[in-house]
Structures are given as C-alpha cells and as structure tokens.
C-alpha cells in the first residue's frame, strides 16, 4: 500500500498569466465578439442624447433671444426684456494693455513660441512648435449704452460679452506676440437684457445680459442654425447607433456585421423617435407662436385703454381733427375680435394711432400740455412694443409655416392636421395696393 503524499498546488508564473489573458481575451474573445461594434453604438447613443439635450437648451435660449422686442431705450419700461442698440459711452474708460485702446472690457494675453521634442508610440521623435499663453489678463468697468432717444447703465460684471472685435496679433520679435479682444468706447453694440429697478439694464430670471457687436437678427439666426445642426446630428447619431446595434444581432464577430438587416431595423426603430421629436418640435413652436400672439393681445388691450385718454386731451386743442377722432373712436378692443379680424384691421389702427401721435407737431399748445406729454410718451412707447410684438409673431408664424410646408416635417403636419398661419407681413403686402380710408 502506497501512502499518499502531500498535495502540491502549482501557480502559473506572471508571464504565463499574461499569455493566458492575451490568448483567451485579446487574441480570441475580443476579436471574435461584437464588443467593439456595441461599444461604438453605445458611444453614438450617448452622443445623440447629449446633442438632443443641448438642442433643447439652445431652443430655450433662442426663444428668449427671439421673443425680446427691439426697442429704443426711451421706450423701455421697468421689467421690460428687450434688445437695444446704441453706442458704448464712458467718461473714464480702461486702457487695454499693450495696445492702449480706450475700452470698457478687454481680454488680453501674451503668447510665446515654444518648441518641444515629442516621442510617438513607436519611439520616433519629432519637433513640435506651437504658441502657448504666457500671461493672460481680463478687466471690465461699468458703462452706458446711448441711442438717439436716451442712455441706460450697464453693469459689466453681470454681462456676457460675445462677438467682440479682436486686435489681431502684434508680434514682439519672433517668439512673442500680443492679442486682445475688447469692447472699445464709441463702438456700436446690441444688448439683450431687462430694465430693472434703478434704471439699469441687467439679467433677470431666464433673460441673460448679452453684449455683442452683431445685430439681434444675426444673433437669433446664428442660434437657430446651431439648434438645427445639433438636432440633425443628434438624430443622425441615434440612427447610426440603432443601425449598428441591430447589425450586431446574431453575428459571431463585429467584422461580420449584417448591415443589410441592421440598417432597415435601425430605420424602423428610429422613425418613431423622429416622429416623437418632430411632434414635440411642432408643439413647442405652436406654444411660441401662441405666446407671441398673446403678447400682441396684451399690447393692443393697453393701447385700447390709452388711446381714448389721449383723444380726450387732444380734442380741446385740435378742433379740426374730428375725422381722426371719429376713426379712433371706432377702434375696437382686439380681445373682442378673431385673429383674422385683428390681422386685417391692425394696419388701419396703426395708421390712425400714428396720426394721433403726430398731432403734437402741428399743435404746439398741445405739446405744452403736461398730461398729453405723459400720455403721448406712453402711447409712443406702446406703439414701438406693438411693432416689435408683431415682428416677433411674424417670425414665429413664418417658422411654423416652414415646418408645415417643408420636408420631411410636412409629414408630421399632415398626420396631425397642423395648418399654416397667416402673419401681419403678408396681410400688409396684400394691402399695399389698396387705399385705406379712415
């Protein structure tokens, strides 16, 4: 009988473990599975989610920027959000370092030419030359924006500065250069913000304070383009993710992806997502258009209350304007009219109110009346806001009509019976050839 000896456990060496891992995972499992393809699909799906989320945020920012009316500074009332345009003014401005330009904001840096030797993954070396920031500085001071109607104070630390002019590079020798972006005194700027207590122009709630040198229309168009690009890239990335994932089903390796099956399945699964996204876009645009119309209703209702007061004061001084006063007396509250009637009659209303505002130029005694002056100023500002509200409604209605009539969104419009909308501009062009008698 042979006695059993002690059991001895033999552990593989580190090199043996490495061979096992390489052969069992990298050389075989990783190459013979769908892992890389599914990883790409996952990355694309995450990218699609990020882009669509960014699209939603950009859409909100676009709405805030687009709905703000373009108003003269004098027409601003407290808590009015608006775009204003004017000249930057300051009695004691900053001086941009190196360049010495009088400005109210600057972002300055010094760059130095640096040469490095780098080694790539194969051990080869190469020389890389690049400009790197050696020193950076930023400063700002409060200033004012002035137009033909007045001026308003801006708190610089609350503002976001965009699209400012650059000085370009000023080279000091061969290895050093200076560059700055700044807001010089005397330059024409456009600003989005809210008139707050104290008469300042500042951010409030969801409305930021943006100072830029491009027009408000260009700013909004740029935001719309960014939103469209992000939306379509997000939807396309989602389609690719679904197609790749579907092509991996039932195949032994990712190199043998079944694209003839994966692409149709991906499209079929993607279509409901596109339909959902497009429908939500219609809903948001409808809400934007309705909000624009409600603002017109509010402005017209205020006008309906102010005009009789102005007429009452003006009657005592302008006895020969009875025709105008009778026409103004026939103005109806917009709330009592349908949308089509409001659009049809608004040109007549606007013309009558403009004639009323012009009375002060023909009757100096009327202009000297303190009550009339206050009412005149209020009505003038209100007409500016009504014009801006009409313009905003036209833009939203035009965007709605593009969705209704454009491809492929017209498919969703027909499915849910979305109809095109009339807008003030179209009605005005139709009436240009017609003489309107008050």
pLDDT of 333 reads: 65
pLDDT of 335 reads: 59
pLDDT of 86 reads: 96
Q: Which domains does the chain have, with CATH numbers?
A: 72-206 (no CATH), 285-431 (1.20.1440.20)
Rounded to an integer, what distance in angstroms lies between the CA atom of residue 237 and that of residue 249?
A: 19
pLDDT of 154 reads: 96
Half-sphere exposure of 42 (CA within 13 A, CB side): 6
Dihedral of CA atoms 148, 154, 158, 164 in degrees, nearest 10, equals: 50
Rounded to an integer, what distance in angstroms lies between the CA atom of residue 390 and that of residue 354?
A: 16
pLDDT of 31 reads: 44
pLDDT of 110 reads: 96
pLDDT of 5 reads: 43
Ordered mean pLDDT values, 10 residues apiece, the chain (438 residues): 41 45 42 73 94 91 87 89 95 95 97 89 85 95 95 95 95 93 97 93 94 93 91 92 87 78 87 88 88 87 88 82 79 70 80 85 82 87 86 88 90 91 62 34
Q: Are 38 and 243 in contact (CB under 8 A)?
A: no
pLDDT of 49 reads: 93
Tokens of 395: 């833009």
84 pairs with which residues across the strands?
A: 191
Rounded to an integer, what distance in angstroms lies between the CA atom of residue 342 and that of residue 362?
A: 30
């Amino acid at each position: 009988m042979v006695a059993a000896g002690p059991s001895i456990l033999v552990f593989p060496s580190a090199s043996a473990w490495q061979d096992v891992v390489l052969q069992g995972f990298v050389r075989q499992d990783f190459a013979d599975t769908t892992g890389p393809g599914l990883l790409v699909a996952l990355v694309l799906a995450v990218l699609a989610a990020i882009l669509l989320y960014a699209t939603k945020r950009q859409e909100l920012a676009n709405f805030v920027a687009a709905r703000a009316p373009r108003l003269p500074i004098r027409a601003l009332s407290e808590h009015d959000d608006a775009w204003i345009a004017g000249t930057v003014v300051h009695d004691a401005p900053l001086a941009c370092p190196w360049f010495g330009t009088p400005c109210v904001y600057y972002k300055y840096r010094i760059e130095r030419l640096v040469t490095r030797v780098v080694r790539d993954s194969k051990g080869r070396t190469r020389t890389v030359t690049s400009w790197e920031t050696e020193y950076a500085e930023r400063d700002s001071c409060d200033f004012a924006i002035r137009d033909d109607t007045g001026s308003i104070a801006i708190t610089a630390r609350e503002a976001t500065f965009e699209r400012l002019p650059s000085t370009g590079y000023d080279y000091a020798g061969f290895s050093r250069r200076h560059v700055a972006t700044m807001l010089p005194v005397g330059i024409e700027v456009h600003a989005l913000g809210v008139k707050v207590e104290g008469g300042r122009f500042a951010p409030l709630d969801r409305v930021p304070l943006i100072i830029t040198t491009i027009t408000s229309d260009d700013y909004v168009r740029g935001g719309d383009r960014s939103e469209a690009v992000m939306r379509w890239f997000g939807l396309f990335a989602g389609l690719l993710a679904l197609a790749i994932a579907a092509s991996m089903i039932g195949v032994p390796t990712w190199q043998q992806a079944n694209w003839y099956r994966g692409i149709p399945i991906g499209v079929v699964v993607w279509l409901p997502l596109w339909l959902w996204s497009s429908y939500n876009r219609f809903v948001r645009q409808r809400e934007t258009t309705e909000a624009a119309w409600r603002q017109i209703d509010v402005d017209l209702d205020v006008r309906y209350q102010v005009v009789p007061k102005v007429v009452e004061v003006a009657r005592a001084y302008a006895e020969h304007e009875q025709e105008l006063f009778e026409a103004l007396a026939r103005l109806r509250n917009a709330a009592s009219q349908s949308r089509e009637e409001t659009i049809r009659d608004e040109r007549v209303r606007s013309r009558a109110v403009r004639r009323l505002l012009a009375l002060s130029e023909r009757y100096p005694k009327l202009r000297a009346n303190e009550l009339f002056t206050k009412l005149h100023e209020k009505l003038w500002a209100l007409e500016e806001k009504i014009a801006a509200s009409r313009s905003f409604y036209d833009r939203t209605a035009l965007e709605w009509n593009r969705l209704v009539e454009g491809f492929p969104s017209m498919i969703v419009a027909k499915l849910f019976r979305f109809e095109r909308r009339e807008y003030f501009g179209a009605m005005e062009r139709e009436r240009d050839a017609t003489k309107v008698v008050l």
